């Protein structure tokens, strides 16, 4: 009972949405603040994220940059919308299809750095059920209630792709639970049959008695590219602040291998920010290459086109990213 109360309390804390969303365009001014540091405004992370770690380690400060957190994303709001409105400067979450959809909607966003990738031992997504569930593999999810945080390639998209590849019915009851940790709490309460859990909440849920894992995203695609996330800016910001963008990518190129080789220390940093216990966290694995791998983006495009996010030819992988600002 104490564990359940603590879990519910944690979710309540993470649901608090910070204020501070004005139309101040200072981040795009091309000038540092009075402290000599150039502010880059981003949404406050609610999951394991290397931005928090790079910030804590001082990697951004070394590049003359400071990260300003503007608050947790509200329901139905994307990072790309906030950038277009002049509220934020960078997007620090999401995957190639999210950037593609933003561009198709007329928002000229461009990825400049890789983030995490999928890994057999540190998977992007874990599929969890109750111990007593009759579900033992992804083949068993047909007709079941599957929780997702939102409609996206890495939530229902992965599973639709899997069902299609296995020639199985896509008759699944998708249940959207957007708040951080809400999926796992609902699974514990028996309100859903399966979760599509990401770090850190996947690790937290697996610590609860009565929860087990049936598969991961690696089991579906067997490729690092299946987890590729990207970081970037608007084309306008990049044009006005090329040196800042280069500093940003240098800081991230330092932190990605650091996280992989210092996972326990990384957990400590993220746990402090999310107000969790480090031992409860699960981690992402990060791309140690300095450049964005176009082949990984193509894998995302193949999934997105198969599940109907856009028609083949509407947009190309090369349209959504650049390696021009990557460290040499």
CATH of domain 11-117+225-319: 3.40.190.10
Structure token digits, residue 247: 């500093």
Nearest residue to 282 (alpha-carbon basis) of 225, 230, 216: 216
DSSP string, 27-41: GGSS---TTS-EEEE
| Secondary element (H or E) of residue 148 | strand 145-148
Supply angle C-alpha 207, 202, 145, rounded to 5.
Answer: 105
Residue 24: CB atoms within 10 A of its CB come to 13
Residue pLDDT tens, the chain, 328 long: 444 434 443 444 333 333 333 334 444 556 889 899 999 999 999 888 999 999 999 999 999 999 999 999 887 789 999 999 999 999 999 899 999 999 999 999 999 999 999 999 999 999 999 999 999 999 999 999 999 988 888 889 999 999 999 999 999 999 999 888 899 999 999 999 999 998 888 888 888 889 999 999 999 999 999 899 999 999 999 999 999 999 999 999 999 999 999 999 999 999 999 888 888 888 999 999 999 999 999 999 999 998 899 999 999 999 999 999 999 8
Closest CA to 256 of 292, 288, 290: 288
Burial readout 80-107 (b: 16 or more C-beta within 10 A, e: otherwise): bebbbebbbbbbbbbbbbbbbbbbeeeb
- DSSP letter for 321, please: B
d(CA 205, CA 202): 5
Residue 41: closest CA among 23, 17, 59, 56: 23
Find residue 79's DSSP bridge partners.
Answer: none
Is the Cα torsion angle 251, 254, 257, 261 positive or negative in sign? negative
Q: Where are the alpha helices (DSSP H) in the chain?
A: 2-14, 50-57, 59-62, 79-84, 96-104, 158-165, 182-188, 201-206, 217-221, 235-240, 242-261, 263-274, 294-306
In the chain, where are the structural domains located?
11-117+225-319, 126-222
H helices of 50-143, where? Answer: 50-57, 59-62, 79-84, 96-104
CB atoms inside a 10 Å sphere around CB 113: 28
The CATH H-level (homologous superfamily) assignment of domain 126-222 is Periplasmic binding protein-like II (3.40.190.10)
Helix (H), strand (E) counts: the chain: 13, 12
Spatial separation of the C-alpha atoms in residues 303 and 124, rounded to whole Å:
16
Which pTM does this prediction carry? 0.85
Q: What does the DSSP 8-state code read for residue 16?
A: P
């Amino acid at each position: 009972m104490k564990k359940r109360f603590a879990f519910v309390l944690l979710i309540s804390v993470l649901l608090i949405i910070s204020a501070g969303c004005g139309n101040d365009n200072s981040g795009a001014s091309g000038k540092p603040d009075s402290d000599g540091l150039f502010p880059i405004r981003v949404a406050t992370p609610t999951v394991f994220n290397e931005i928090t770690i790079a910030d804590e380690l001082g990697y951004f400060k070394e590049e003359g940059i400071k990260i300003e957190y503007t608050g947790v994303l509200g329901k139905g709001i994307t990072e790309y919308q906030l950038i277009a409105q002049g509220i934020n400067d960078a997007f620090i979450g999401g995957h190639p299809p999210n950037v593609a959809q933003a561009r198709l909607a007329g928002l000229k966003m461009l990825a400049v750095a890789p983030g995490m990738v999928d890994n057999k031992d540190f998977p992007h997504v874990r599929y969890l059920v109750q111990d007593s569930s009759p579900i033992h593999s992804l083949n068993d999810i047909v007709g079941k209630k599957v929780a997702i945080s939102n409609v996206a390639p890495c939530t229902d998209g992965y599973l639709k792709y899997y069902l299609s590849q296995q020639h199985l019915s896509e008759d699944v009851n998708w249940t959207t639970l957007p708040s951080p940790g809400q999926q796992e709490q609902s699974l514990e309460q028996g309100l859903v049959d399966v979760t599509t859990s990401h770090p850190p909440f996947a690790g937290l849920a697996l610590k609860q008695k009565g929860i087990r894992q049936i598969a991961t995203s690696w089991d579906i695609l067997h490729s690092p590219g299946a987890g590729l996330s990207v970081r970037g800016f608007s084309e306008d910001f990049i044009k006005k602040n090329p040196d800042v963008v280069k500093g940003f990518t240098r800081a991230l190129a330092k932190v990605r291998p650091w996280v992989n080789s210092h996972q326990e220390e990384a957990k400590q940093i993220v746990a402090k920010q999310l107000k969790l216990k480090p031992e409860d966290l699960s981690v992402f694995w990060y791309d140690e290459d300095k450049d964005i791998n176009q082949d990984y983006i193509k894998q995302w495009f193949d999934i997105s086109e198969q599940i109907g996010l856009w028609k083949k030819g509407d947009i190309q992988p090369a349209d959504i990213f650049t390696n021009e600002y990557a460290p040499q």
